[in-house]
Amino acid sequence: MSDDIVLKATGLTKDFKGFRAVDAVNLNVQRGSVHALIGPNGAGKSTCFNLLTKFLTPSAGTITYDGRDITRLKPEVIARMGLVRSFQISAVFGSMTALENVRIALQRRRHGDSWDFWRSQKVLARLEDEAMDLLDQVGMTGFAREQASDLSYGRKRALEIATTLALDPKVLLLDEPMAGMTQEDVARITTLIARVAVGRTVLMVEHNLSVVATLCDRITVLARGAILAEGSYDEVSKDPQVINAYIGVPNG
Ligand code: ADP
Ligand code: MG
């Protein structure tokens, strides 16, 4: 295996009023991999994810992205560097069409450009083309002119992914992408993530272990704020410590 690490956490620690939720975690995410963070409830997955995406500030430790120290940088700054978190907010504007949502995301990426630039019909037409292309990538061309609020939950999520892709991510950070999905949507979004992962790195927190088994090259298992096991799905799912950690924690 190559040692081309795109995202690296060293000694990552987070204390909440004396409670250590994440304890000296060392995480190495390999470029081009689909990497999952799993573990029972309360393991520290969300805290870890929020630290990596800069929504929380670590109590100790460092985070590097492409060899650059990003420990003190803000989420918007790292997003512009290509480290983009999806599903962070309900990023979809319900009153707009799917196409408008993606077009706005494209405009946001280039928000330094002048207003006049956006009024040019030629530029708008090109943005629409790009937006259609992104909708195509998530299998949503047939829904381009639909109002976003009318879309099913799974399609809203596909749209969110398109708006995330508009930011041209190199590393895509997904927080429980399957949460609240029907079986059918889980299958569709799994395929979609596999497709958008090509040529990118994906780090995801995910509860659905069959999704993790299908999508992920590498799994880090957290328990009580520390890394319990790491490896392929086959490796970690056979690990007695991992099995133990999950026992008594259904839906963990
Ligand atoms: P997971 O996502 O793996 O279920 P979390 O990262 O949400 O776990 O939480 C890990 C631990 O940290 C839990 O015991 C939780 O109660 C605690 N915790 C999380 N966020 C806070 C907070 N803002 N203040 C205090 N304790 C917190
Ligand atoms: Mg959580």
pLDDT 10s digits, 103-154: 988 887 765 445 555 567 888 888 999 999 999 999 999 999 999 999 988 8
- For 38-84, the pLDDT digits (tens) are 999 999 999 999 999 989 999 999 999 999 999 999 988 998 899 99
The pLDDT score that the predictor gives to residue 51 is 96
Sequence-separated (6 or more) residues with CB below 8 Å from residue 72: 57
pLDDT above 90 for 228: yes
Tokens of 144: 């381009």
- Gap from CA of 173 to ligand 1 centroid (Å): 19
- For 25-42, the pLDDT digits (tens) are 999 999 999 999 999 999
> Which of 16, 49, 204, 221, when mutated, tests ligand 1's pocket best, judged by the most ligand atoms within 8 Å of its CB?
16
CB atoms within 10 A of CB 151: 20
Positions of E strands within 75-148: 83-86
> Which of 13, 17, 19, when mutated, tests ligand 1's pocket best, judged by the most ligand atoms within 8 Å of its CB?
19
Domain covering 1-90+201-252: architecture: 3-Layer(aba) Sandwich (3.40)
CA distance 32 to 52: 17
Task: Give the closest residue to 131 by CA, choosing from 152, 115, 153, 148.
Answer: 148
* Sheet with 60-65: strands ordered across: 19-30, 5-16, 60-65, 68-69
Task: Give the closest residue to 9 by CA, choosing from 226, 228, 167, 212.
Answer: 226
Tokens of 251: 């839906």
Task: Provide φ and ψ at 60, rounded to 5°.
Answer: -155, 160
pLDDT above 90 for 245: no
Per-residue confidence band for 87, with pLDDT thresholds at 50, 70 and 90: low
- Gap from CA of 45 to ligand 2 centroid (Å): 5
Greatest mean pLDDT range, 6-10, 89-93, 121-125, 245-249: 6-10
Query: Which atom of ligand 1 is found nearest the CA of 49?
Result: 6
The pLDDT score that the predictor gives to residue 1 is 46
Evaluated on CA atoms 81, 85, 86, 89, the torsion sign reads: negative
Does any ligand 1 atom lie closer than 6 A to the CB of residue 51?
A: no
Q: What is the DSSP code (8-state) at residue 97?
A: B
Evaluated on CA atoms 90, 94, 99, 103, the torsion sign reads: negative
Query: Which atom of ligand 1 is found nearest the CA of 17?
Result: 25
Lowest mean pLDDT among 44-48, 161-165, 248-252: 248-252
Of all helices (H) and strands (E), which one includes residue 189? helix 183-196
Sequence-separated (6 or more) residues with CB below 8 Å from residue 61: 9, 10, 11, 12, 13, 24, 25, 71
Does any ligand 1 atom lie closer than 6 A to the CB of residue 44?
A: yes
Mean pLDDT of 83-102: 83
- Measured from the alpha carbon of residue 20, the closest ligand is 1
- Gap from CA of 205 to ligand 1 centroid (Å): 14
- pTM comes to 0.88
Does any ligand 1 atom lie closer than 6 A to the CB of residue 45?
A: yes
Sequence-separated (6 or more) residues with CB below 8 Å from residue 245: 39, 40, 43, 221, 223, 228, 252
- For 169-216, the pLDDT digits (tens) are 999 999 888 888 888 889 988 998 999 999 999 999 998 999 999 999
